[in-house]
Amino acid sequence: MKHLSIIVPCYNEQEVIRESYRRTVLVMNALDIPSQIIYINDGSHDNTRQILNEIADNDSRVKVLHFSRNFGHQPAVAAGINKCNTDLAVIMDADLQDPPELIPQILELQERENANVVYCVRRSREGDNFFKRITAKIFYRMMNSMSEVKFPLDTGDFRLIDRKIMNQFNQFHERSKYIRGLISWIGFKQVPFYYRHENRVAGKTKYPLNKLFQLAAIAFIYFSNKPLRLAINLGFTAVIVGIVLAAWFTLGKIYGFSNAEPGWTAIITVITFFGGVQLLTLGILGHYIGVLFDETKARPEYIIDEERNFQ
């Protein structure tokens, strides 16, 4: 018989964990397959740790990983997948924006379609403000035009994955993981499930703008080398423009159709233009070199401080 794990990353979620656990357990009790929860406490500095330990002490189906510090949402989910020993896993947020009540339908769809991945697509983005909706829309569409794998639109990490996917995922050694991208990249049979993204039940978002941009940068750099090619194209265009300009000024001088006194404007324009091109190119190169640097260091992606109920 298949077993299910529910992987839930938690960072400073003291306001929502009990309610999240309560609703998840209700769903688990009604399932006809055995299930467990894996909570990853991503270095919270509120009472998340105590609350999770208390829950784990009273329910052996609850496993908890405590990170030694805040490593971020993606490493937390990665740890949950690495530690998962069941045939199926659902990745879910702690804040109930992804309702656990949908799990039975997701499982049913997986079974019916014999899918390896059921990714949940947000039909509405309840609880996300206008800015987040717009940036998310732009991001997903840009991503798709730049990357060689196609990513489903309006999809977060809320999804069901099976053992085949998890085994592949566990082989990845890249340090910064854009998990939904990697799962799309793995392939096999992936089917969508449409749902309504709810409001956070309590607490504030743990994804401020800078973290969102970091995630977007990882997604771009790890899944597309078009920015690199863009640098080459820009450089090439600049050279052509330079040649044309030089030719124009020279001919202008010979035949007298351009201002005989080129003066400052032209020089300054050209210097600024080329300076800009060089800086931009260097910046893009620098970004990739930074990623290479991180990867060659091959540091572990996360460090576990303590494990509960893992035997």
Tokens of 283: 């910046």
- Dihedral (CA of 187, 191, 192, 193) sign: negative
Residue nearer to Mg ion on the CB measure, 79 or 92: 92
Asked if 155 is part of the footprint of ligand UDP (rule: CB under 6 A), the reply reads: no
Asked if 12 is part of the footprint of Mg ion (rule: CB under 5 A), the reply reads: no
**Of 140, 185, 207, 288, which lies in the binding site for ligand UDP, with binding defined by CB under 6 A?**
207
Q: Which amino acid would we find at residue 300?
A: P
Task: Kindly write down the DSSP assignment for every residue of 96-143, as one continuous string.
Answer: SSS-GGGHHHHHHHHHHHT-SEEEEEEEEETT--HHHHHHHHHHHHHH
CB of 213 to Mg ion, least distance (A): 17
Asked if 42 is part of the footprint of Mg ion (rule: CB under 5 A), the reply reads: no
Asked if 42 is part of the footprint of ligand UDP (rule: CB under 6 A), the reply reads: yes
CB of 158 to ligand UDP, least distance (A): 10
Residue nearer to Mg ion on the CB measure, 73 or 231: 73
Nearest to 64 by CA among 105, 139, 5: 5
Number of chain positions touching Mg ion (CB under 5 A): 3
Count how many residues are written for the chain: 311
What, of Mg ion, ligand UDP, none, does residue 72 touch, CB below 5 to 8 Å by kind? ligand UDP
| 96, 20 contact by CB (below 8 A) | yes
Q: Which of residues 222-281 bind Mg ion (CB under 5 A)?
A: none
Which residues, including other chains, have CB under 8 Å from residue 127's CB and lie 6 or more apart?
A: 97, 197, 198, 199, 200
Residue nearer to Mg ion on the CB measure, 41 or 97: 97
Give the binding site for ligand UDP (CB under 6 A). 9-11, 13, 42, 70, 72-73, 76, 93-95, 97, 205-207
